[in-house]
Structure 1
Amino acid sequence: MQLRTALAVILGCMLLVLSACGGANGNNAGKAAGGNSGGEQAEATAPNPASDEEQRNVKVVLDWSPNTNHTGLYVAKDQGYFAEEGLNVEILLPGSGGAEAMIASGEVPFGVSVQENVTQSRLQGVPLVSIAAIIQHNTSGFAAPVTKNIKSPKDFEGKAYGGWGSPVEEAIIKSIMDLQGADVGKVKFLNIGDADYFTAVKRDIDFAWIFYAWTGIEAELRGEPLDMLYVKDYSEQLDYYTPVLVTNEKTIMDDPELVKAFMRAVSKGYNYAMDHPDESAQILLKAVPDLDKDLVVASQTWLSPKYKDDAPRWGEQKREVWQNYSDWMHERGLLEKPLDVDAAFTNEFLPSE
């Protein structure tokens, strides 16, 4: 997937979100296959051991179109883990305002975002809280066809970068170029919006920011090898959580048992996806049959071990990861003030293993 974050959307819609939150008692590499939006359903069929009267209807919104970042949600639905918790979960695609706006306003209690969006949102007074890291380490980076001969950030000089116009993009590129004494002023920045990565690098640009688990794997399947520069390899501060599961402060305060039940089921879903990548890929394909089968299977194989990686359990978040990235953003003028890190995330609702 080309790395898509919802930063621009968040900043553009922040006043609307804050207004919605007040009226209710008050996502890169965001990030995925395709570009569907509009709050549509994107569901899997699941066993339902409880009657409709016993089940509680709950919605969760994705950050982008369904992909292997989301597999654990579809597994939890398909395998009946949500139903076991008394939940009838509806998986939605984001509306035009983005997933964060839907979650913060209380339109839906849960959703998928990324650490940079939660950080930006909280500094704008938007009450999002991260409740799990879907992937432990940042799998995004700058990718270029090997024919472009981009082997290090120094090689960005004289090249064209294609992105979506977020200040974070140039800040990260400058940060890793500075480490090599390179000049970011020699990079041509182009806003390519939703343009297909493979088309853009043949026509308009030399490199872009992607998630390897999707676009990188697709490049392998196409026989179009990439040079991949993972941002985490250049700075510990850039090894942030992307994506994350989020809720809002009101849901945590008013209905903590719902959050616990939801997270018990989701944790089972991602643990299943870690242990059974082939079966999990088929579950995702069953729920979203328009996805490319070969890409889903290969992506799931690559990504499944990375959900938990070196963490003691799936979903675990470290305070220093949140502190490091927010410090990096503040140092570069992307945040007006430091983040209250302890309010931005919690491990409280993760089941013990």
Structure 2
Amino acid sequence: MSMGATRRVLAAVLAVGLLAAGCGAGESVEPGGKAQVRVLMDWFPNPDHVGLYTAQDKGLFTAANLEVTLTPPSNPADPLKLVAAKQVELGISYEPDVLMAAEQDLPVVAVAALVPVALNSLMAVGSSPVKSPEDLAGKTVGTAGLPSDDVYLKQITAKHGVDLNTVKKVNVSSNLVAAMLSGQVDATIGAYRNIEGVQLAQDGKAPYIVPVTDAGVPEYDELVLVANRDRLRDDAGYRDAVTRFVAALGKGVAAAQGEPSFATASIRKVATGYDGEALEKMVAATLPLLTNPRGFGRMDPAKWQAFAYWLYAEGMVKRHIDAASLMTNDHVPAG
């Protein structure tokens, strides 16, 4: 079984276990009281989640009087759906997905940026003829099959004067690295610079890597923490628990950046399928990307709105989106 398949099976088993345990909305608690916070992540544990696991191992959630459970999903779309259904308290998702959820009228809102920069990258191994976005003309590009990857490719080719009709697009699902190494594709969109990019470099493949936002896609927050909008409005205990969770997570990120070896050890305990030395380098590549010049967790409303306009212009959504209704900085630490 491939590494990707193993991860999918593990995620599915854990998510089914979560649902079987009965993960309905937790009972309301008084502000400041002990609260159960179940977090459905965007994917299996990996270096992107280093702040979460460092906070957990440092006891920062416990110190905030929170009982936190971190669980992978069976599908990356599950966090938004289960947060909306009040089956989990919080979820980890992606800014584009949160914006596109507006068309489904899901009562979700991003309350913090966990990874405030794009990780998704245009990537090719050193033996590939692709050394720049302009080189995509006449080449084969693999994607994970996500609609967002398709629109990123469209934007990148347009930005760099490449006729998209000359580019052959192949859905390689989760086999992005294997497709590049085998020569099935000349480049990919969908691999992360701090994960697959680091692994390729570790293996001596001299990868060409450019974040999609450096290649023409508008800036966005890759990973965001999502809460239920209705519960934030109606439940003071939930609202307070979310604020405490975000504050503890911010301390976890700071602790991870201050103690990289501790952070690596925290991830190593839960991340499967990674070479030890490569994992250490992935964490080292990830930690600087968690630094937010606006302050931990803080999102830029203007950039969110600009990305929403872009999604509409590219036909990813069928109506104009009010980004302000889908994100809030009310729960991030002041300053």
1:144 counterpart (101, 124, 149) = 124
**CA deviation vs aligned residue, 1:69-101 (integer Å, no higher than 9, x gap):** 111111111111111111111110103462222
- For 2:69, the equivalent position in structure 1 comes to 90
| 2:176–2:188 CA contact under 8 A, matched in 1 | no
1:185 counterpart (138, 142, 165) = 165
Secondary structure class of the residue paired with 2:161: coil
Q: Which runs of 5+ in 2 are unaligned?
A: 18-32
- For 1:265, the equivalent position in structure 2 comes to 248
2:184 counterpart (204, 220, 223) = 204
**CA deviation vs aligned residue, 1:17-67 (integer Å, no higher than 9, x gap):** xxxxxxxxxxxxxx9x9434226179xxxxxxxxxxx74322101101111
* Alpha-carbon distance in structure 1 between the residues aligned to 2:34 and 2:271: 24
* Alpha-carbon distance in structure 1 between the residues aligned to 2:257 and 2:145: 34
1:249 equivalenced with 2:232 (yes/no): no
2:283 counterpart (286, 300, 304) = 300
**Residue identity opposite 2:198 in structure 1:** I
* Alpha-carbon distance in structure 1 between the residues aligned to 2:179 and 2:185: 9
* Alpha-carbon distance in structure 1 between the residues aligned to 2:186 and 2:245: 42
* Alpha-carbon distance in structure 1 between the residues aligned to 2:309 and 2:250: 29
* Alpha-carbon distance in structure 1 between the residues aligned to 2:270 and 2:174: 24
Q: CA deviation at 1:337?
A: 1.0
Secondary structure class of the residue paired with 2:112: strand
| 1:308–1:315 CA contact under 8 A, matched in 2 | no
* Alpha-carbon distance in structure 2 between the residues aligned to 1:94 and 1:289: 15
TM-score with structure 1 setting the length: 0.82
- For 2:205, the equivalent position in structure 1 comes to 224
Q: CA deviation at 1:166?
A: 3.0
Give me the identity figure in percent.
Answer: 24
> For structure 1, which segment, 74-83 or 237-246, has the greater mean C-alpha deviation from structure 2 after superposition?
237-246
1:58 equivalenced with 2:37 (yes/no): yes
Secondary structure class of the residue paired with 1:57: strand
**CA deviation vs aligned residue, 1:115-148 (integer Å, no higher than 9, x gap):** 0110111222112211111122213211011211
| 1:76–1:268 CA contact under 8 A, matched in 2 | yes
**CA deviation vs aligned residue, 1:165-209 (integer Å, no higher than 9, x gap):** 333223221212112321001111111122251355414211112
Listed as ranges, the matches of 1:16-95 within 5 Å are: 34-35=7-8, 36-38=10-12, 40=14, 55-95=34-74
**CA deviation vs aligned residue, 1:257-315 (integer Å, no higher than 9, x gap):** 11111112111111111222222111111344654322221111111111014x13111
- For 1:117, the equivalent position in structure 2 comes to 97
Listed as ranges, the matches of 1:4-19 within 5 Å are: none
* Alpha-carbon distance in structure 2 between the residues aligned to 1:246 and 1:39: 23
- For 1:315, the equivalent position in structure 2 comes to 297
| 2:117–2:220 CA contact under 8 A, matched in 1 | yes
| 1:63–1:113 CA contact under 8 A, matched in 2 | yes
- For 1:344, the equivalent position in structure 2 comes to 326
State the number of aligned residues. 309
TM-score with structure 2 setting the length: 0.86
* Alpha-carbon distance in structure 1 between the residues aligned to 2:100 and 2:145: 16
* Alpha-carbon distance in structure 1 between the residues aligned to 2:183 and 2:160: 28
Secondary structure class of the residue paired with 2:43: coil
1:133 equivalenced with 2:113 (yes/no): yes
* Alpha-carbon distance in structure 1 between the residues aligned to 2:157 and 2:176: 25
Q: Which runs of 5+ in 1 are unaligned?
A: 1-30, 43-53
Secondary structure class of the residue paired with 1:147: coil
Runs of 4+ in 1 over 4 A off after TM superposition: none
| 1:59–1:108 CA contact under 8 A, matched in 2 | yes
| 1:55–1:83 CA contact under 8 A, matched in 2 | no
Secondary structure class of the residue paired with 2:299: coil
* Alpha-carbon distance in structure 1 between the residues aligned to 2:56 and 2:160: 47
1:234 counterpart (186, 208, 215) = 215
2:151 counterpart (152, 157, 171) = 171
Distance 1:335 1:227, change over 3 A: same
- For 2:140, the equivalent position in structure 1 comes to 160
| 1:39–1:92 CA contact under 8 A, matched in 2 | no
Secondary structure class of the residue paired with 1:38: helix
Distance 1:39 1:345, change over 3 A: farther
